[in-house]
Amino acid sequence: MEANVFRLTWSIPLPSPSSLPQVRAFHFKSGRPAGAVLRRSQAKEEPILEGLPKEYYDEPLLEGMPKEYYDDEWQAEQRKKSKELQRRRQIEDEEEERKIEEYREIGLRLKGYPEEDVKKARKLVSSFIRAEEEVEEKIEEAAEKGELNELVLMVIWNRLDLARRDDEKDAVRSLDLLYRRVEMEILKREATPAMRLLNDLLNMHDGFDDEGWLKECKKCMIDTFPREDPFSILVPAGFDIDKHQGPLQPPLEADDVLLRVDFVREVDALLQEVRHEPSEEQNIEGFDPESVASKLKQQEKQRTIRKVEALLDLAINLKW
């Protein structure tokens, strides 16, 4: 028995376009501009787009960022500040490198001296600094022991140089005085008898009474210089020429005897050397502390020269 299959088809009538209902278009009004609406749908990680209207940036993209972050002028000012900061930092780095190089150079000044001698010199300078009011006695004691030399001066100069570079004014003043005092003591020990006598005569001046000072200097010269008249050369001291009595022992030869002619010769040579040195007083201008100090130093030098000239004249015309 055969089964026949019949295909069933359904025909659904389609409505005509004229029969479709009319749909009215509605327009929604929003208080926000189109850029702001688009902004809400934008992800926070999305970069800022160029060419959008100014209203697009009314609300910040990143939380916590100031409103000026999106201002071109503000950004340009910040870049300018960054460049200036970088320039200052570079200048500071260069200054720091320069100071390090200078400190290294100062440290290498003592490289040519024996290490043990350098240690002793540093200990001696430290003892001078700690001595405070007793520094004069310490310096004289070290001079008598023969401990003052060029190395000690170099150690003091290194400390003085470091204090100057670090702008430590009190330390600079103290170390400068210490350097001058030690240098004077070394020169005094190494000086000739004429220069030692000249230094002693200059130190006798109290700064006020010039006539009294010259009288004291004359007495000191008479006691120091041997008599130069022929009678004193032929007849020793203590011999009575009238009674022909007295010791006739020949005078003992002494190595440290200072003749008046030698004193006059060395002092005159010193004055000639000082007078030929160029004077810096005329080139000093201004009233800043350094200029005033330089002027006072030059004035003190001129006063000392006048004192030496007075002593030279006194020695030339000295009479017993």
Between 260 and 255, residue with greater pLDDT: 260
For residue 64, the tally of other CB atoms under 10 A from its CB is 6
pLDDT tens by residue, 59-116: 445 666 666 666 778 888 888 889 999 999 989 888 888 877 877 787 778 888 888 9
Higher pLDDT, 168 or 27: 168
- Tokens representing 256 are 């440290």
* Type of residue numbered 137: E
Task: List, as own/partner pairs, every contact residues 136-141 make where C-beta atoms lie below 8 angstroms and the sequence separation is at least 24, other chains included.
Answer: 136/181, 139/181, 139/182, 139/185, 140/185
Mean of all residue pLDDT scores within the chain: 75
pLDDT band at 55 (very low <50, low <70, confident <90, very high): low
Q: Which residue has the higher pLDDT, 270 or 243?
A: 270
Beta bridge partners of 245: 240
Name the percent of the chain lying above pLDDT 70.
66
CA distance to 60, 73, 266, per residue, from 64 (Å): 8, 20, 86
Q: CA–CA separation, 163 vs 119, rounded Å?
A: 20
The mean per-residue pLDDT over the stretch 146-157 comes to: 90
- Enter the tokens of residue 103: 């400190």
pLDDT at residue 179 above 60? yes
Q: Give the span between the Cα atoms of 54 and 35, in whole angstroms.
A: 9
- Whether the pLDDT of residue 20 is over 50: the answer is no
- Which residues neighbour 39 within 8 Å (Cβ) at sequence distance 6 or greater? 56, 59
If one compares 120 and 132, the residue with the highest pLDDT of the two is 120
Output DSSP code: residue 270. H
Beta-carbon contacts of 104 under 8 Å, excluding residues fewer than 6 positions away, are none
Please, are residues 197 and 258 in contact by the beta-carbon 8 Å criterion?
Answer: yes
The whole-number pLDDT of residue 65 equals 67
pLDDT given at position 315? 92
**pLDDT at residue number 52:** 54
**Helical H segments across 132-207, by residue range:** 135-144, 150-165, 169-190, 193-203
Residue 22 DSSP symbol: P
* 3-class DSSP assignment, residue 5: coil
Structure tokens at 49: 């787009």
Quote the pLDDT of residue 25: 46
Q: CB count, 10 Å around CB of 186?
A: 17
What pLDDT was estimated at residue 276?
77
Token code pair at residue 182: 């030690």
Q: Contact 135/178 with Cβ under 8 angstroms?
A: yes
Please state, for a pLDDT cut of 90, what percent of the chain lies above it. Answer: 19
Q: Please tell me the distance from the alpha carbon of residue 188 to that of residue 149, in angstroms, as a whole number.
A: 12
> Domain ranges in the chain?
70-109, 115-190, 194-235+255-317
Q: What is the pLDDT at residue 9? A: 46
**Would you place residue 41 in the very low, low, confident or very high pLDDT band (cuts 50, 70, 90)?**
very low
Q: Left (φ > 0), alpha (ψ -120 to 50) or beta: where does 237 sit?
A: beta
Q: According to the model, what pLDDT value does residue 299 have? A: 84
Is pTM, for the whole model, over 0.75? no
Distance of alpha carbon 176 from alpha carbon 97, whole angstroms: 27
And the tokens for 135? 């520094």
Please choose, from the candidates 204, 205, 159, the residue with its C-alpha nearest in 3D space to the C-alpha of residue 182: 159
Amino acid at 246: G
The predicted structure's pLDDT at residue 254? 52
**Which residues are CB-contacts of 245 (< 8 A; sequence separation ≥ 6)?**
239
Residue 291's pLDDT band, with cuts at 50, 70 and 90, is confident
Top-confidence residue, 226 or 53: 226
